[in-house]
Amino acid sequence: MSETTAILTPVRELDTLAIRQAIPHRWPFLLVDRVKIIEENKKAYGYKYVTVNETFFEGHFPERPVMPGVLIVEALAQTACAMMLGSPQMAGKLAFFMGISEAKFRAPVTPGCYLELRVEMLRTGSRAGKAKGEAYINGEIMACETEFSFALVDK
C-alpha cells in the first residue's frame, strides 16, 4: 500500500443514517451525504451530490442555478461536525458557528457537481474548536476554502 493510499484509507465511514445520528440537521438543510473519517477527530472528507432539485436553486438563481457560497461553508462545517459529534465522547453535544474567516470562493457549484468537502481540525477542546475546510468540484477544481470556529454546547 502506498503512502497516499494509507493516508486516504478511512478509519470509519458515515452514511446518511450515521450522519443523522451525529448531527441534528435534516432536509432541506442536511448538506452532506457521506463522510469518511481519515484521521479520528482530526481529518475527514465529506461528499455532497448537488442535484437540480436542491431547494436553494429555486431562488439562487432560477435561470442559472449556483449553490450559495454560505451553504458550501455550511456543508464543510457539517462534515466537521459529523466527524466530531459522531464520536462517543461527544454524545449529547451540539456545535454552533462562532466565526468564519479567510473564506474564498473560486468556482461556481452548479447542478450535477459532486462536492468533496475536506476538513482538518486546527484546534479542538472540550468547549470549542477551529477547522480549515476546502471544497472541491468533482475532486479536482477548488470551489471554496475557509477557516471556521465553533462552540460545543450541551443539547
Q: Which residues are catalytic?
A: 60
Q: For 36-92, where are the alpha helices, taking DSSP H only?
A: 69-85
Task: Tell the residue number behind the cell numbers 465511514, with chain if given.
Answer: 13
Q: Say whether 117 sits in a helix, a strand or coil.
A: strand
Alpha carbon distances (Å) from 99 to 10, 27, 60, 129, 149: 28, 24, 24, 10, 5
Could you give the strand order of the β-sheet that contains 43-49, starting from the edge strand earlier in sequence? 12-14, 34-39, 43-49, 114-124, 128-137, 141-154, 93-105
| CA 56 to mean position of chain CA atoms | 17
Cell of 124: 479542538
